A and B are shown apart, each in its own frame.
Chain A
Amino acid sequence: MDKEMAIRKFREIAHNPYGYLQELKTNTGKKMIGSTCAFTPEEFILAAGAHPFRVFGESQSFSGADAHIQAYGCSMVRGMLEDGLSGKLDFLDGVVFPHACDSIQRLSDIWRLNIPSLHFYVLLPVKLDSSLAKSYFLNVLVRFQKDLGKALDTTITERNLKEATVLMNNMRRRLIRLYQLQSEHPGILTGADLSAMVKASMVMDKREVVDLLDVVLAALSKSPAPDKKIKRILISGSVCSHPDIYKMIENKAAVVVWDDLCSGSRYFEGLADENKNPVQAIAGRFTERYVCPAKHLGVTFQMENLKKLVNEHKIDGILFMLLKFCEPFSFDYPDIKTELEKMEIPFLLVEMDRHNEVDEQMRTRIDTMLEIL
């Protein structure tokens, strides 16, 4: 397999993730356990011999979900519910609901009442960085391990968990390397392809992901770096898997060189310590790394993380992609805005629904920001 074939495969799976999962279930007979958020400790699902995948909210109209969730619920959560209600996830055996934001918590209840499947909670502490939170979170994970093992009629051993931790780390290392390559040689991959590769990694068999990423990485390390003067963009916010947005940015001689998105780096950033007891290592990964605005770490934390990314990746401008009604992100934004204005870094906030077409108004805003840079 060559690089183009590998990327095409990622693209196809990102385009039709549930088709891939249905086929995987038919071929392997594995239990399919969906996750609704990047806080899901997927290692436990792997160690239980099941297949973890992200429920994306692929549905584009929410006629079923709208009967349960108000229109001011975010389109991610409404889309996930619609996927479940409309039968798109009929291959699914269970779902994990980490208690990250309020919307996912409410989705969990609605799901339990309306969609027959196994139901797992990961009751995250409100603050992840206190010493009490660490011991609490360890207990939560031990409970999840037991609940999952019992429901899937298996015992999750330390050895299996360790293997799963190594496998997830291997995938994460490769995705991190891919992002680093894009930052070192902007345009080495199109933003749309990179985004599709991360999305596909969230649904695919992790060993297959590692193998395909090895093919891509080997080819990229040999390919010459594009030598163009470009503007370096950071996308921050909720999700952005719109190929059109990346294309729009690239048409203006700019490249997204890093992101801080739930559909991007938040999935793979941070490694679990392979020398530790695996439950502790998994807990450590979640409590030590920066994750998502849903876990508030004070008004300065988000900004410090952004500053770090801006410096590390020599960012020229920041595009905030906000999923409409994403409260955790909106709460942080005023502080971020004030700080960025002081730092005189150009930035733009764009609000959108998960499946909104990229319209001309949005194009005008984004084009203008890129023309100002």
Chain B
Amino acid sequence: MISLGIDIGSLTAKAVLLEENNILEKHLIPVGYNSKKAGDKLFDELLQKAGIRQEDIGKIISTGYGRNSIDFADRAVTEIICHGKGIYFQMPHIRTIIDIGGQDSKVIVLDKNGNVANFVMNDKCAAGTGRFLDVMARAMETEIHEFGLLALQSKNPSKISSVCTVFAESEIISLVAKGENREDITSGIHLSIARRIASMVKRLGMIPPVAMSGGVALNVGLVDALENILETKIETTPF
């Protein structure tokens, strides 16, 4: 059976077509201002890309903030449950998941059977989210995909005390004025966000092994900073 998972997040809409355990096709577009429109567009483009018709799909599950706007889905499930299922499918040994999304960050603890046992979510502000990294990368005049690599080059990370996106940006302006180098400031930014995430992990109670999901898992600088603070290896998914 072909099944479709569709995730309408705060920034991007993602879809994956799965046939049994193999990925047939995947697609990603920005959400823009209308989650329903984004979902329809994503679906049409994915079908075209995969060369199949809607009738060929046996089951559709929607998730993410826009999950309830996907009227062609059979069921809407929260992304917390989906992260749990997804990680368990790919890495069944994992017990703690860190997911940093565009709008919020989450820590999820799974039981031995891969069910969500507990979770904590930061949704109070942009600090500790992918949005924070976006803003900071722009301030450092670097592309988001190079931002983590830049942090790894630092030998003496700058001290950034504020975790608030707005205040941190003005703190960075002061560091720039002081003449601190770009790698050190970037590393400082990564450490500040990692400290915030680490406090969420500790609050929930980390059970190793730990994995990171979400777009920010691609940021090697942040994975490295989190590994150092949490003193544990953090695995990432191959997809």
Cβ-closest chain A residue relative to B68? A363
Which residues of the other chain, B, contact A368 by a CB distance below 8 angstroms?
78, 80-81, 116, 119
Residue of A361, A367, A368 most packed against chain B (CB within 10 A): A368
Nearest Cβ in chain B — how far from A340, in angstroms? 11
Encode A336-373 as 1/0 by CB contact (under 8 A) with B. Answer: 00000000000000000000000011001101100110
Contact with A along B72-83 (1 / 0, CB 8 A): 000001111100
CB–CB B81/A361 < 8 A: no
Q: Which of B78, B117, B119 has the most CB of A within 10 A?
A: B78
Cβ proximity bits B92-123 to A, threshold 8 Å, 1 near / 0 not: 00000000000110000000000111010101
Q: Please give the number of chain A residues whose Cβ is less than 8 angstroms from any Cβ of chain B in the complex.
A: 8
Q: Which residues of B contact A364 (CB under 8 A)?
A: 65, 78-80, 121
Q: Which residues of A sit under 8 angstroms from B77, Cβ to Cβ? A: 371
User: Most A CB atoms within 10 A — which of B80, B103, B104?
Assistant: B80
Complex CA distance for A266 and B103, rounded to whole angstroms: 37
Size of interface on B: residues with Cβ below 8 Å to A: 14
Verify B123–A372 contact, CB threshold 8 A. no
CA of A360 to CA of B67, assembled, Å: 10
> How many whole Å from A157's CB to the nearest CB in chain B?
54
A367 & B104 in contact (Cβ 8 Å cutoff): no
Complex: how many Å from CA A368 to CA B106?
A: 12
Bound-state CA distance A360–B102 (Å) is 14
Q: Give the interface of B toward A (CB within 8 A).
A: 65, 77-81, 103-104, 115-117, 119, 121, 123
- Please give the residue numbers on chain A whose beta carbons come within 8 Å of chain B beta carbons, in ascending order: 360-361, 364-365, 367-368, 371-372
- Can you list 20 A-B pairs, Cβ within 8 angstroms, ordered by A? A360-B65, A361-B65, A361-B103, A361-B104, A361-B123, A364-B65, A364-B79, A364-B80, A364-B121, A365-B121, A367-B78, A368-B80, A368-B81, A368-B116, A368-B119, A371-B77, A371-B81, A372-B81, A372-B115, A372-B117
A361-B65, A372-B117 given; 8 more Cβ-contact pairs under 8 Å: A361-B103, A361-B121, A364-B80, A364-B121, A368-B81, A371-B77, A372-B81, A372-B116
